[in-house]
Amino acid sequence: MTMWLDPLRAALDDTPRPVDFFFRDDDAGWDDERLFAMLEVVERHSLPLDLAVIPEALTPSLGRALLKRSDAWEGRLGLHQHGLAHRSHEPEGRKCEFGPSRRREAQRRDLVEGQRVLDERLPGRTQPVFTPPWNRCTRVTAEVLAELGFRVLSRHVSEPVVAVPGLAEVPVSVDWSYAKRDGRRLTFEELGELAAERVRLGDPVGVNLHHVVMDDEELGLLDELCGLLAAHDAVRCRPLLALAG
């Protein structure tokens, strides 16, 4: 095992209480080959994983494959909604599908359509969890989510809490592919240090994967991380929905 995980291992060795971890992979529907390569790594260690599925990118064949994989994983594979089309509607500034330029009615229409597609292609398996593309949405989005029966909103820990009654927030805090510092992507040594920092805070540690941009070398590093988490006595790897209280 390479040295990039040494800070995380040390933090886990020193923690006075068990630490919850969860994996969330975004953009299911894009690049099925990379998706299933990533799933095989996590499955090798019998860990749970939550997939944020883009409704308009979910083909019938991928839906059938995910249903089959869900059965095989016996409850360890969570499937939930990731926007509608993963398309930004903002005329300027940061990309956002459910951003400030969109009215409540338009947001509600897209959320309902996304629910319909997932219910059709993943019947009985979609969980009441919503991950907005780019980890961004507005308070209006959160209010509509609660009205539509969603129980959990999952974004990045840096996003401000919206505090909508009935909607729990379970954020990711370690962004595998897009975490940056001073405008540059973190090295994996820095990513290991970030994970260690989150352990020391004592909150659940959410690891955000993006299978589309993970090459074989990164899958090998993910295998190392999964091996550490699966073997360490201080770690509890749990499904995202179970962390919502």
Q: 107-161, pLDDT tens digit by residue?
A: 999 999 999 999 999 999 999 999 999 999 999 999 999 999 999 999 999 999 9
d(CA 2, CA 227): 12
The mean pLDDT of the chain is 96
At 50, is the pLDDT very low, low, confident or very high (cuts 50, 70, 90)? Answer: very high
Domain count, the chain: 1
**pLDDT(1) > 80:** no
Strand partners, 205: 21
Token pair belonging to 165: 């009654």
Q: Interior CA angle at 162 toward 161 and 163, to 5°? A: 95
Amino acid identity, position 186: L
Return the CATH number at 49. Answer: 3.20.20.370
pTM metric for this prediction? 0.96
d(CA 45, CA 229): 9
Domain, as residue range, for 36: 3-10+19-244
At 183, is the pLDDT very low, low, confident or very high (cuts 50, 70, 90)? Answer: confident
Token pair belonging to 45: 């260690």
The three state secondary structure string of 182-223 is CCEECCHHHHHHHHHHHHHHCCCEEEEECHHHCCHHHHHHHH
Q: How many residues does the chain have?
A: 245
**pLDDT(182) > 80:** no
Which pairing describes strands 77-81 and 126-130: parallel, antiparallel, or unpaired?
parallel
Quote the pLDDT of residue 147. 98
Amino acid identity, position 64: R
